[in-house]
């Protein structure tokens, strides 16, 4: 549901996902492929009409990544499912695999996304923080 269909009742939320981003082989070229993949996912997240201001904060040395964005929703009960769907879709579209993306508090034992290749980026959700945007 985009902002046009949300109407005047839409509120803007800030959503922040923390991930561990790894793969079975090392990141080549001093990690440039790590950053390229994270950028590709961020661009796909930002392509949604109800998402804006996507930011990525990364620490390749610790394999940690935070993806932060503004999202419009008609209420707080719709923020988490909408954000999870957007991020899952972006990871999959960029050729990654994800774990822990079923619900905000749940953990998936079987991940979704690309196949289990050695160079497939694996996104493991650590936590999600949601608040009203200023």
β 97-99/122-132 pair status: parallel
What is the tens place of the pLDDT at every residue in 78-95?
Answer: 898 999 999 999 999 999
Find out whether 15 and 69 touch, Cβ atoms under 8 Å: yes
Mean pLDDT of 94-100: 91
Mean pLDDT of 103-126: 71
Domain ranges in the chain are: 9-132
The pTM score is 0.84
Find out whether 87 and 21 touch, Cβ atoms under 8 Å: no
pLDDT for the residue 104: 45
What is the tens place of the pLDDT at every residue in 26-61?
Answer: 887 778 889 999 999 999 999 999 999 999 999 888
Going from the C-alpha of 80 to that of each of 10, 28, 53, 88, the distances in angstroms are 15, 34, 17, 12
- The answer, yes or no, to whether residue 4 has pLDDT greater than 70, is no
**φ, ψ for residue 13, nearest 5 deg:** -115, 155
**φ, ψ for residue 66, nearest 5 deg:** -115, 130
- The arrangement of secondary structure in 9-132, i.e. its CATH architecture, is 2-Layer Sandwich (3.30)
pLDDT tier for residue 1 given thresholds of 50, 70 and 90: very low
Find out whether 37 and 29 touch, Cβ atoms under 8 Å: no
């Amino acid at each position: 549901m985009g902002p046009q269909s949300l109407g005047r009742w839409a509120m803007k939320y800030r959503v922040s996902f923390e991930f561990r981003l790894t793969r079975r082989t090392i990141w080549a070229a001093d990690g440039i492929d790590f950053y390229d993949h994270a950028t590709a996912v961020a661009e796909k997240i930002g392509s949604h009409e109800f998402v804006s201001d996507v930011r990525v904060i990364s620490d390749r040395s610790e394999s940690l990544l935070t993806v932060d964005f503004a999202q419009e929703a008609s209420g707080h009960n719709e923020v988490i499912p909408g954000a999870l769907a957007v991020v899952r879709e972006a990871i999959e579209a960029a050729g990654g695999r994800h774990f822990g993306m079923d619900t905000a508090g749940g953990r998936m034992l079987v991940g979704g996304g690309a196949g289990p290749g050695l160079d497939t980026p694996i996104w493991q959700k650590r936590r999600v923080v949601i608040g009203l945007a200023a």
